[in-house]
Every structure is written in structure tokens, then in C-alpha cells.
Structure 1
Amino acid sequence: MKIAQKNKILETCLIAGRIMIESGSEMYRVEDTMNRIAYNAGIQKSVVFTTPTGLFIGIENQPYVQLGAVAVRTINLEKVENVNTASRQFATKEITLDQLMLRLKQIDQDTAHFPLWLQITAAAVISAFLMIIFSGEYDWLDIIPSAVAGALGYAAFAAVNRVTTIRFIGEFLSATVIGIVAYLLTRRHLGVDIDNIIIGAVMPLVPGVAITNSIRDLLAGHLLSGMVRGMEAILSAFAIGTGIALVFRFFM
């Protein structure tokens, strides 16, 4: 196999792995996908090392290694599924290596996101119904206030993340907005229990996927990735709690 072909295979594996890490995939799934792409392309033994901020791939007993940086980390499971589908098509010889690389670049650039209005609407619905589940009582009077607080909080979260790349600022400010909205609604007698309203409204911000992936990575033996993702989830939860605590400190 020529050097250029080996480099192309490694580059394709890096693109696939980077997309999956940036989209919130588990590390063992990333490594498995990269190894399968390399194997199906003709590399019998590849060596893969992944972290939440970068990944490496090489060929065993050969001086071929490439590395890639992970710039952002978010949750987009559609991209993870699209990469898995493309890798399976490559494994069954439905597409060539060049077509796989082109498909991966298209997935990286063109995968559509849900419009903001739909995300805000979903946040409102989730806030309303999870308020009942987590409060432990059928507080029907606080369904609409919880939906309003959750929608405004998520809108604030999206707006902050659009203008800054600083982690955890969005969670903190959106939780503060939720606390203020819940306080104002109860003061105007539009809501009954401020605790129940806040419990439901913060649920769209809770890093549930990050916590789950952290535990799965730890159980799969990826201790570094599991601890890093777990710490990110803890800091996100701390930012949410701090925002709510400030509202209680200054308004209650």
C-alpha cells in the first residue's frame, strides 16, 4: 500500500472520530468506528487513542501517525448516527474510501440543526411535564408557569452560547433567568410553588447525556475521558445551581 493511500485512510478515520467526539459520542464507539474504517480500508492493525480534546491514530509497527484536535463538544446524535451509517456502507463496499471521506465532510458541514423556535418549544414542553414527575405531585397549576420559565431560560441559554464560547456561562445565566422568571410569576400569583416551577424549568439544561457518557466511558475502561466528561457535567450542574442560588439570595 502506498504512503499516500495510508495517509488518506488515517485522515478519513480522524475525520470520523472528530465528528463523533464533537457530537457527544462515547469514546469506545469512536475507537471502534475508527478501527473498523481502517480495517476495511486495508490496515490490519491500527492504534487509536482518543481524549475529549484530541485523538490519535497510527499503524502498528509502522511510522505512520496522525492526530487531530477537538475544538468543540456538543450533543448532536444525528451526526453520530450518520457517521456510523457511512462507516457501515464502507464496510459493505457500497461506497469507496474517497466517497466515504466526501460523505464525512458533508456530515460535518451540512447536518441540519432543529430551528431555534422548535428547540424553545421542546424546552417548554419538557419543563412542564418533568415538573410533575420530579416534584412528586400533580401540580397542574404550575404547568404553564414552568413551561414559560423553561422556554425563556433555554432562549437565554441559546442566546448566550451564540455570542460567547466560554463554557458554563450559558448555564449560569439561563438558570438565573429561570429563577427570576419563576420568582416574578409567583409574586404576580401566576404560579403557586416556585420550587416546582424551577425544578421543571432547569431540566432542559441538566447535562444528562454527558453524565451518562461519562459513566459508560468509565465502565468501558476510558478513565481519562470518563473523568473529564464527569467533571464537565459537575461544573455544568454547579453553574445551574449557582444561578438559582443567587436568585434565592437576592430576591427571596
Structure 2
Amino acid sequence: MGRIKINENLVLELAGYIGKIILECGGETYRAEDLVDKVCRYYGLKTNSFAVLTSIITSVKGKEKKFYTCVEKIKVRAINIEKISKINNLVRNIQEYSFEEFFIKIKEVDKEKAYSFIYIFIGNCLAAGAFAFFFKGNIRDCIGSFIGGALISLLCFYGNKLQINNFFINLVGGIICSLNAYFFLRIGLINNMSISIISTLMLLVPGIAFTNSIRDLIAGDLVSGIARGVEAFMVGTALAIGSGIVLSIIKTMGGL
């Protein structure tokens, strides 16, 4: 398909699709808007785009001075930095592809599957164990945190599969982290619950969401920046409530 035959609707479909992928993969809203604008400008269209966490709206002015608008709803959001990087590279080198080739490349990136559960499971276990060493724990703290990472992996896997609200997943995650640490304290594997709890909770801490919130605010996207900040705060609150409930019950029962 030559560039002359490309119409506004096709370009708008492509641009909106790219913006949707970026937001679904946890990218910043200003990045999604920037990539959408770059694609539209490359094909000679004047564009305005507006992105928030749950949708992206793109409007272009055609060659006949007609306006076209595309709205993409973001229903699922995750973190996939690799996809964001690949989309960025494709848009930067858009001149190397025809329209059809470029669209196919974008679809290929979108269809790429994330790491399988076993890789995520092993990564979470190793990360939790490593955090125990980082917080000056010993090998026994590492083992307790390692097992806690395994439990968190299972929770997230089945929680996402059942489409459970993220707040409740993190709430239960906080409960599991505290119960896991208390169990190993009772059997004498660890001497300090705090290290095991904190090491496992680090897997659920919304670090990327908080960082993207700051980046959106700096870029002037106040709505998205505040929304991401509130989302990170809610996750932190859920973790604190979950852990606090267990610790309060244990303390009341004289377990601490």
C-alpha cells in the first residue's frame, strides 16, 4: 500500500492502536500521546491526542479539512517495558517500513506473550530472597522470604486469572506476607519477622507506578500523574492494612 492511498481512518486506527498498547503496558501518558502524534505527523496529518490511564482520544484533521476521531478504551493494564521499548524503536524508524509492513510489526509486538508463569515464579522467589540479604538478613531469612515470594506469585497468578480487583490482591498479599513470616518465626526458622515481611512485600510495592506518576507530573500531565499517584497510594494502603490486620491479631493473642 503506497502512502498516497492511505486514508485518514487507517492512520487514525494505527495511531490509536499504538497509544493503546503503550498504556496497556504501563507506559506514561505523555509517551503514548507523543508516539500517536509522531505517527500521524509522519503521514501528513495534523493531530491532537489526549491520554489518561483508562483511555486515549485522538483527533486528526484530514486533507479535505474534515475531522476524524478515535477513542480507545484501556481495560487491562500491566507492566511490560520490553513492549514499550519495541514500539518506541518501531516509531523512531517508521520511515523504513511501508504502511502495511509497519502495521504488521506493531501487531506482532502486541501479540508477543509475556514471560511464562514459571519464569515469573522463579524471579519473584529469587527477588524476595535477595531483598532479605539487602535488609541485612541471614540465610534463614532468605529462605523464609523465598517461600513468601512463591506464595505471592501464586496469589497474583490466580488473582489475575479470576480478574480480582487489584486492591484486594494487594490486601491479601499483605496478609500472606505477615502470616508467612509468623509461621517461620513460630517454627524457629527466623528470628525477625520484619525482615521477612518487608522483603516479600517489596514484590508488591508499586515502584513503577509511582515513578511514572512523577514523570507524568513533570511532563505537565496533571490528571494522569495524580491518578497514578493515587493508585500507588491505594496499593500501599492495601499492603499496610493486610499486614496490619495480621500483626494486630497476633499481638492481641500474645504471639508477639
Identify whether the pair has TM-score above 0.5, normalized to the shorter chain. Answer: yes
Q: Give 5+ residue unaligned stretches, structure 2.
A: 252-256
Counterpart code for 1:235: M
Please give the secondary structure, in 2, of the residue aligned with 1:250: helix
* Counterpart position of 1:55: 56
Bigger mean CA deviation after superposition, 47-56 or 12-21: 47-56
* Counterpart position of 2:197: 198
Residue 162 in 1 paired to residue 161 in 2? yes
Distance in 2 (alpha carbons) for counterparts of 1:130 and 1:78: 24
* Counterpart position of 1:182: 181
Distance in 2 (alpha carbons) for counterparts of 1:51 and 1:251: 42
* Counterpart position of 1:79: 83
- CA deviation vs aligned residue, 1:10-49 (integer Å, no higher than 9, x gap): 1100000000001011112111111111111222x21111
Residue 12 in 1 paired to residue 14 in 2? yes
Distance in 1 (alpha carbons) for counterparts of 2:174 and 2:131: 16
List aligned pairs for 1:31-180, cutoff 5 A: 31-43=33-45, 45-60=46-61, 62-90=66-94, 93-108=95-110, 110-133=111-134, 135=135, 137-180=136-179
Distance in 2 (alpha carbons) for counterparts of 1:120 and 1:238: 25
- For residue 3 of structure 1, report the CA deviation from its aligned partner: 9.9
* Counterpart position of 2:240: 241
Q: Contact (CA 8 Å) 1:158, 1:170: kept in 2 or not?
A: no
Please give the secondary structure, in 2, of the residue aligned with 1:46: strand
Counterpart code for 1:193: N
* Counterpart position of 2:254: none
Distance in 1 (alpha carbons) for counterparts of 2:145 and 2:72: 42
- For residue 53 of structure 1, report the CA deviation from its aligned partner: 0.8
* Counterpart position of 1:223: 222
- CA deviation vs aligned residue, 1:171-218 (integer Å, no higher than 9, x gap): 111221121111101100011110110010111111100000000000
- The runs of 4+ residues in structure 1 deviating greater than 6 Å are 1-4
Counterpart code for 1:70: I
- CA deviation vs aligned residue, 1:140-175 (integer Å, no higher than 9, x gap): 431111111122122212211211242312111122
* Counterpart position of 2:249: 250
Distance in 1 (alpha carbons) for counterparts of 2:167 and 2:249: 21
- For residue 234 of structure 1, report the CA deviation from its aligned partner: 0.7
- For residue 138 of structure 1, report the CA deviation from its aligned partner: 4.6
Please give the secondary structure, in 1, of the residue aligned with 2:36: helix
Counterpart code for 1:183: Y
- For residue 251 of structure 1, report the CA deviation from its aligned partner: 2.5
Q: Give the structure-1-normalised TM-score.
A: 0.91
RMSD between superposed Cα atoms in Å: 1.9
2:29 to 11, 14, 27: 27
Bigger mean CA deviation after superposition, 10-19 or 33-42: 33-42
Please give the secondary structure, in 2, of the residue aligned with 1:114: coil
Q: Contact (CA 8 Å) 1:154, 1:205: kept in 2 or not?
A: no
